[in-house]
């Protein structure tokens, strides 16, 4: 408990403790944070396979 | 893709006979760990994590005593969800099934709960200094089943017009309810004092870690459900994927929860076992992808690989194709003499 | 070799291990030239996220399951643990997509794929046991809902999501050991078989076949 008093409360920069927005289309109902994660996964995958990789033109080491 | 072609692709991938470059594996792993550590810390500082306080039977009975008492009566007379659930809690139903397969029933009752006894009568009998209450409980126990049902059914119907008194107890219109109103008012007072939370936890010894009875009790009422609906956590709201507040949830469960949203699962009494069966089959297929014709050949037909390995293909295009495939011995450094990488 | 060392279990085990994974294969300092894409870093990123999970989980275990509810430092480490879960699944999925489109099971690497897939499937209940061990409303809701899935297949009586003591034990010991064991097997198999080489391009395949046919005719 001494440590807890010594440290200031860890408040987040963004407070996410409120209702999420939702995308609703027919039976599809997804929270905005989850949509962000899914889209980010696809974007990161696309970047991973498309972005140039440094040093790929290096000659083989002797 | 022909089987022969697939076999060729498979065999050709056994040994890399091409070039190698220098590479620091430990440095790369250290950098990766540093990146992930930084990401986790940044996300923590930006967003923290949710921690919504638990509901308790005490808070439930105080904020919605009518719902609490309605649930308690249904546990008493065996009409609650728990009472009719079946295994592993009781034998009052066969549970879910797929065709002739009844795994829920076959694996039996391992967490035996008698709702009337365990959730209502036994806790009431722990209340001291209430001879009138103990007499009411004895009267209820001694009554024939038909009379007990008549009392509880009449009382349940009357609860639709219940009034909550200042002291938290319930008053219903006059009727023939036997000892049930006295029992229920004693139970709600006990719950509101916090005693019922403790009584449901204690099970033959001092130390406890099993919250099954209290959770099933609350799940039969509206307390958890109302909070969940408000947070879009309910099953028909893709709830399995969701987290409280505006936090990302368990996105990897998208396919598990998807089935619950569509027919025939969405209106089936056996939805859970059907979804588990479908996901079991798909999970097995996922593990066995290398053996599934069609699935294992798709990467060859949809050439995402040409993007991934475009640098390699460019360097290969710059060198003429051999007249006959030749063996190039591996270099001196790197993995000694064996397959690449 | 004398017959006495041939019969030694220790020597036989050592020879098998070193034969399969000599030091220069276990910790190579070279990689094939075709490993030239950012997609290749998602395996090690997944490993790093798993390491973060184990480290943050260890700190949470040291102080016990109630600590993070009453301490801001505890809450900090709980948040690290939660975001590490999100990162772990995020990186693992990108890694999985990459490996699928590379058909990374080719060339005798089926067990690499299978251990990876099973790791994912074991990580899902590992996360579930964590969610029901939080001791807050989230765990109340998740346990009372997911119990129906467990009960429907008959395992709910043996794997009781509402039994905190049991779920906490599965979460901090049994399932992390399983996940870690699978990941170790997966990584050692990758080291043994190497990173899967690229598909051969169609035109070079045809040219090689034409050359081989011409050679056979002459």
Taking only the tens place, the pLDDT of each residue in B237-273 is 677 888 888 899 899 999 999 999 898 998 999 999 9
B69/B84 Cα distance (integer angstroms): 18
Q: Is the pLDDT of residue B175 over 90?
A: yes
Q: Is the pLDDT of residue B15 over 70?
A: yes
Put simply, whether C84 touches B (Cβ < 8 Å) is yes
Q: CA-CA-CA-CA torsion for C162, C168, C171, C172, nearest 10 degrees?
A: 180
- Give the rounded percent of residues in chain A with a pLDDT score beyond 90: 34
Nearest CA to B156 out of B90, B60, B63, B80 is that of B80
Q: Which two tokens stand for residue C57?
A: 């989980």
Asked if the Cβ–Cβ distance from B50 to A17 is below 8 Å, we say yes
B262/B283 Cα distance (integer angstroms): 20
Q: Which two tokens stand for residue B225?
A: 């459900």
**Nearest chain A residue to B23, by CA:** A61
Q: How would you write B37-91 as a 3-class SS string?
A: HHHHHHHHHHHCCCCCCCCCHHHHHHHCHHHHHHHHHHHHCCCCCCCCCCCCCCC
Contact B69, B170 (CB under 8 A): yes
A18 vs B contacts (CB less than 8 Å): 245-246
C192/C114 Cα distance (integer angstroms): 15
B52 vs C contacts (CB less than 8 Å): 136-138
A6/C51 Cα distance (integer angstroms): 28
Q: What per-residue confidence (pLDDT) applies to B326?
A: 44
Residues in chain C, pLDDT under 50: 1-2
- Report residue B204 CA to chain centroid gap: 28
Distance from CA of C66 to the nearest CA of B (A): 12
Q: Is the pLDDT of residue A61 over 70?
A: no
Put simply, whether B22 touches A (Cβ < 8 Å) is yes
**Nearest chain B residue to A22, by CA:** B232
Asked if the Cβ–Cβ distance from C30 to A61 is below 8 Å, we say yes
The set of chains that have 3 or more CB pairs under 8 A with A is: B, C
Q: What per-residue confidence (pLDDT) applies to B239?
A: 76
Q: What per-residue confidence (pLDDT) applies to B244?
A: 85
- Report residue B101 CA to chain centroid gap: 22
Residue of C34, C36, C75 for testing the chain A interface, max A β-carbons within 10 Å: C36
Helix (H) or strand (E) holding B277: helix B271-287
Which ranges of C102-217 would DSSP assign to H, the alpha helix? 110-131, 137-152, 164-169, 175-193, 202-217
The set of chains that have 3 or more CB pairs under 8 A with B is: A, C
Q: What per-residue confidence (pLDDT) applies to B337?
A: 37
Q: Is the pLDDT of residue A15 over 90?
A: no
Q: Is the pLDDT of residue B122 over 70?
A: yes
Q: Which residue has the tokens 């209340």?
A: B127
Helix (H) or strand (E) holding A28: strand A28-31
Put simply, whether C66 touches B (Cβ < 8 Å) is no
- How many helices and strands (H and E) does chain A possess? 2, 2
Distance from CA of A16 to the nearest CA of B (A): 5
Distance from CA of C79 to the nearest CA of B (A): 5
Q: Which two tokens stand for residue B188?
A: 């709600």
B16/C11 Cα distance (integer angstroms): 30
The CA-CA-CA angle for residues B216, A17, B62, to 5°, reads 40
In this prediction, residue B176 has a pLDDT band, given cuts at 50, 70 and 90, of very high
Nearest CA to C39 out of A21, B11, A45 is that of A45
Residue of A48, A60, A61 for testing the chain C interface, max C β-carbons within 10 Å: A48
Q: Which of A10, A37, A56 sits opposite C75 (nearest CB)?
A: A10
Q: Which of C71, C79, C94 sits opposite A41 (nearest CB)?
A: C94
C49 by Cβ neighbours in 10 Å (0-12 / 13-18 / 19+) ranks as buried
Put simply, whether A49 touches C (Cβ < 8 Å) is yes
C162/B167 Cα distance (integer angstroms): 32
C177/C195 Cα distance (integer angstroms): 25
In this prediction, residue A28 has a pLDDT band, given cuts at 50, 70 and 90, of confident
**Nearest chain A residue to B309, by CA:** A49
Phi-psi region of A25 (alpha: psi -120 to 50; beta: other; left: phi over 0): beta
**Which residue spans within chain B are E strands per DSSP?**
20-22, 163-164, 170-171
Contact B65, B170 (CB under 8 A): yes
Q: What per-residue confidence (pLDDT) applies to B235?
A: 64
C106 vs B contacts (CB less than 8 Å): 9-10, 12-13
In this prediction, residue B54 has a pLDDT band, given cuts at 50, 70 and 90, of very high
Put simply, whether B106 touches C (Cβ < 8 Å) is yes
Contact C154, B104 (CB under 8 A): yes
Question: In chain C, where are the structural domains located?
Answer: 38-101, 103-212+214-218
Q: Is the pLDDT of residue A60 over 90?
A: no
Put simply, whether B335 touches A (Cβ < 8 Å) is no
DSSP summary character for residue C201: P
> C-alpha distances in angstroms, C103 versus A6, A20, A52, B2, C197?
53, 38, 21, 16, 10
Contact A50, B307 (CB under 8 A): yes
Q: Which of C83, C91, C208 sits opposite B43 (nearest CB)?
A: C83
Q: What per-residue confidence (pLDDT) applies to C206?
A: 66
C126/B107 Cα distance (integer angstroms): 23
Helix (H) or strand (E) holding C32: strand C30-32
Put simply, whether A46 touches C (Cβ < 8 Å) is no
Question: Within the 208-247 window of chain B, which residues sit less than 8 Å (CB to CB) from chain C?
Answer: 209-212, 215-216, 218-219, 224, 227-228, 233, 235, 239-240, 243-244
Contact B179, B137 (CB under 8 A): yes
The CA-CA-CA angle for residues C162, C165, C169, to 5°, reads 115
CA atoms within 13 A on the CB side of B76: 29
Architecture of domain C103-212+214-218: Up-down Bundle (1.20)
Q: What per-residue confidence (pLDDT) applies to C113?
A: 98
Per-residue pLDDT averaged across B126-140, rounded?
95
> C-alpha distances in angstroms, C143 versus B331, C140, C148, C155?
56, 5, 9, 14
CA atoms within 13 A on the CB side of B295: 11
Asked if the Cβ–Cβ distance from A47 to C38 is below 8 Å, we say yes
Contact A32, A23 (CB under 8 A): yes
DSSP summary character for residue C170: I
**Nearest chain B residue to C135, by CA:** B54
Q: What per-residue confidence (pLDDT) applies to A58?
A: 47
**How would you classify the pairing of strands A28-31 and B170-171?**
unpaired
Question: Within the 56-115 window of chain B, which residues sit less than 8 Å (CB to CB) from chain A?
Answer: none
Q: What per-residue confidence (pLDDT) applies to A13?
A: 87
The reported pTM is: 0.90
- Give the rounded percent of residues in chain B with a pLDDT score beyond 90: 74
- pLDDT, greater one: C127 or B1: C127
Q: Is the pLDDT of residue B165 over 50?
A: yes
Question: Within the 14-53 window of chain B, which residues sit less than 8 Å (CB to CB) from chain C?
Answer: 14-16, 18-26, 28-29, 32-33, 35-37, 39-41, 43-44, 47-53
In this prediction, residue A37 has a pLDDT band, given cuts at 50, 70 and 90, of very high
Q: Is the pLDDT of residue B19 over 50?
A: yes
**Nearest chain A residue to C92, by CA:** A41
ipTM above 0.85 for this complex: yes
Asked if the Cβ–Cβ distance from C98 to A56 is below 8 Å, we say no
Distance from CA of B289 to the nearest CA of A (A): 21
B335/B20 Cα distance (integer angstroms): 9
B115 by Cβ neighbours in 10 Å (0-12 / 13-18 / 19+) ranks as buried
> C-alpha distances in angstroms, B322 versus B14, B28, B315, C205, C215?
19, 35, 14, 10, 12
Nearest CA to B80 out of B172, B213, B231 is that of B213
Q: Which of A4, A53, A56 sits opposite C72 (nearest CB)?
A: A4
C39 vs A contacts (CB less than 8 Å): 45, 48-49
Distance from CA of C59 to the nearest CA of B (A): 15
Asked if the Cβ–Cβ distance from A37 to C36 is below 8 Å, we say no
Q: What per-residue confidence (pLDDT) applies to A8?
A: 39
> C-alpha distances in angstroms, B223 versus B56, B165, C106?
9, 20, 53
pLDDT tens digits, B302-336: 999 999 999 999 988 877 655 444 444 444 444 44
């Amino acid at each position: 408990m001494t440590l807890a008093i010594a440290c200031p409360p860890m408040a987040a920069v963004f407070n996410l403790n409120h209702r999420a927005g939702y995308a609703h289309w027919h039976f599809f109902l997804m929270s905005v944070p989850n949509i962000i994660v899914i889209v980010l996964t696809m974007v990161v995958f696309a970047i991973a396979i498309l972005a140039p990789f440094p040093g790929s033109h290096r000659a083989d080491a002797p | 893709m022909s089987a022969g072609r697939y076999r060729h692709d498979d065999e050709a991938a056994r040994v890399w006979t091409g070039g190698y470059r220098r590479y620091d594996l430990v440095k790369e792993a250290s950098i990766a760990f540093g990146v992930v550590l930084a990401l986790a810390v940044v996300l923590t500082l930006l967003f923290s994590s949710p921690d919504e306080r638990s509901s308790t039977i005490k808070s439930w009975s105080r904020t919605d005593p009518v719902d609490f008492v309605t649930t308690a009566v249904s546990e008493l007379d065996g009409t609650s969800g728990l009472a009719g659930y079946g295994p592993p809690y009781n034998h009052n139903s066969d549970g879910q099934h797929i065709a002739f397969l009844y795994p829920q029933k076959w694996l039996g009752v391992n967490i035996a709960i008698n709702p009337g006894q365990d959730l209502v009568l036994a806790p009431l009998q722990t209340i001291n200094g209430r001879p009138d209450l103990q007499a009411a409980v004895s009267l209820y126990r001694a009554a024939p089943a038909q009379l007990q049902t008549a009392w509880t059914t009449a009382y349940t119907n009357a609860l639709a017009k219940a009034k909550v008194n200042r002291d938290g107890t319930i008053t219903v219109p006059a009727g023939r309810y036997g000892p049930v109103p006295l029992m229920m008012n004693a139970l709600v007072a006990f719950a509101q004092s916090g005693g019922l939370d403790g009584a449901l936890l204690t099970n033959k010894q001092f130390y406890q870690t099993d919250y099954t009875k209290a959770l099933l009790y609350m799940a039969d009422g509206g307390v958890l459900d109302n909070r969940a609906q408000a947070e879009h956590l309910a099953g028909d709201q893709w709830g399995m994927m969701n987290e409280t507040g505006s936090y990302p949830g368990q996105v990897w469960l998208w396919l598990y929860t998807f089935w619950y949203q569509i027919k025939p699962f969405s209106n089936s009494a056996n939805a859970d076992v059907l979804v588990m069966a479908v996901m079991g089959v798909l999970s097995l297929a996922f593990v066995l992808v290398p053996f599934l014709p069609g699935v294992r050949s798709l990467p060859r037909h949809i050439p995402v690989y040409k993007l991934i390995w475009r640098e390699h293909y460019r360097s290969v295009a710059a060198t003429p194709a051999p007249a006959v495939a030749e063996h190039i011995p591996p270099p001196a450094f790197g993995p000694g003499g064996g397959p690449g990488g | 070799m004398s017959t006495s060392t041939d019969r030694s279990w220790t020597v036989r085990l050592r020879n098998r291990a070193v034969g399969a994974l000599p030091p220069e294969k276990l910790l190579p300092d070279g990689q094939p030239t075709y490993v030239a894409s950012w997609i290749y870093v998602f395996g090690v990123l997944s490993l790093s996220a798993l390491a973060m999970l184990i480290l943050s989980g260890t700190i949470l275990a040291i102080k016990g399951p109630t600590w993070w509810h009453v301490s801001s430092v505890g809450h900090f480490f709980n948040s690290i643990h939660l975001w590490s879960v999100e990162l772990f699944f995020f990186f693992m999925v990108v890694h999985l997509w990459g490996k699928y489109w590379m058909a990374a099971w080719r060339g005798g690497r089926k067990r690499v794929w299978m251990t990876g897939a099973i790791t994912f499937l074991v990580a899902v209940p590992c996360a579930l046991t964590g969610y029901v061990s939080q001791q807050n409303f989230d765990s109340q809701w998740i346990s009372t809902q997911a119990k129906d899935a467990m009960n429907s297949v008959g395992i709910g009586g043996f794997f009781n999501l509402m039994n905190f003591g049991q779920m906490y034990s599965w979460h901090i010991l049994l399932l992390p050991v399983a996940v870690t064991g699978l990941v170790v097997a997966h990584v050692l198999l990758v080291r043994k078989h190497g990173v899967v080489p690229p598909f051969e391009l169609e035109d070079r395949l045809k040219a090689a076949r034409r050359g081989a046919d011409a050679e056979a005719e002459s």
